Amino acid sequence: MEARKTLTKLMKNWNRTGKIKTGILAILFIPNLIFASPVVPQLGLFLVLMPLLFGSFALPLIVKVNSSFFGYKIEKPSWNANPLRLNRPLVFFQFGAWFMIVSGTSMILGSGIVYQVFHTFGLATVMFGIGMLIGITLTLKWFQNE
């Protein structure tokens, strides 16, 4: 019950852009549930953890280089900000991270429900999204005060 109140309070603070982004993610969750992949690639632990490390450490480098060359702002991303405006790249990467997490989760659930197998590529996709969120946090910690 408390979680529902918190979610309702959070959603009241969303503007039109935040609601559209949530709708896009909700719509993109459905196809992998319905049309699950019959061929599930089995990836090793290295290939599952590599996207996590890449997202965590490559994202701060990419954002810092782009902000140095193009003058982009390194600011904490807001869910209500437009990800297509490229002057604040962390907003774009935040939406991309949530896109990866949602699509990977739907791959895992879809293949688990339809074929009763674990989709390791879906797990790698989720790991990349989590790595991007970690990369955003590291970027803010390392470069925001410059």
pLDDT value at 7 more than 60: no
- Burial letters 23-51, b for 16+ CB under 10 A, else e: eebeeeeeebbeebbeebeebeeeebebb
Task: Quick: pLDDT tens for 25-46.
Answer: 889 888 888 887 777 677 788 8
Q: Are 88 and 94 in contact (CB under 8 A)?
A: no
Task: Quick: pLDDT tens for 63-91.
Answer: 888 888 888 888 899 888 888 887 888 99
pLDDT at 118: 84
Put simply, whether the predicted model's pTM sits higher than 0.75 gets the answer yes
Residue 146 banded pLDDT, cuts 50, 70, 90: low
Task: Please name which of 140, 119, 124 lies closest in space to residue 37, comparing C-alpha atoms.
Answer: 119
